[in-house]
Amino acid sequence: MGAGGPPSVDPDYENVTYLVLVGRNLDVSMGLVRRLVAAREREVKIVVVNPRAPNIAFSSVEWVPIIPGTDAAFLMAVAYVIINEGLYDVDFVNRYTNAPMIVKPDGTPLGGKEVGVEGDYVAWDAAGSAPVPLGKAKDPVLVLSKEAGQRVGGARTVWELFVERVSKYPPDVAAKITGVPADTVVKIAKKFAAARGVIEEGGTPLETATTSTHTAVS
């Protein structure tokens, strides 16, 4: 939300199409639970991924038990399916994420001054076959060609680095880490992508503690 944001933001559950709650404990907020009513009335699919079965999981939602501390591996496996099945929205990735941003081999962002353009961050524009300020590319590239990579000193895009990391977590590998069956991961990933759904992660101190989430991906 950025610095100085509102103290709370109510999720737009009323308009969601497919909702996956990962480590999201709604039991502590009846207000949030009530906001799911409209989605349920529209028969929106709700999936709860949590070691514990929250109260809402005993109603019209799917509960997916998971080993504590392995949420990140589950999410990486979902991303693996979406990427390898070509189910991601390229336009969304280009416009609303930093995926086209170019990162140097040392892991730091390529600065505009280093390639003679404005701005602190850079993307490669296929339209002009040249680096441009991030957000200004007419046709941003997610995967650099060999020639483009050489022109920016062997750097790669955020997307390339993300895909490389995700490649370590196919569903069968993630299943051994998370306890969530591979076919369940595949099913959720495909339905999520088809419905253009939302994954909401975390939300309470217990769920977001280092002992409970994010610890199974390196």
Domain parsing of the chain, residue ranges: 13-86+166-208, 92-165
Q: What is the pLDDT of residue 105?
A: 94
Q: What is the dihedral of CA 29, 35, 41, 46, to 10 degrees?
A: -60
Q: What is the pLDDT of residue 141?
A: 93
- Which of the residues in the chain have pLDDT under 70? 1-10, 25-34, 54-59, 202-218
Q: What is the pLDDT of residue 3?
A: 56
Q: What is the pLDDT of residue 213?
A: 45
Q: What is the pLDDT of residue 6?
A: 59
pTM over 0.75: yes
Q: What is the dihedral of CA 98, 160, 143, 112, to 10 degrees?
A: 50
Give the span between the Cα atoms of 52 and 65, in whole angstroms.
Answer: 7
Rg (CA), the chain: 20
In CATH, what class is 13-86+166-208? alpha beta
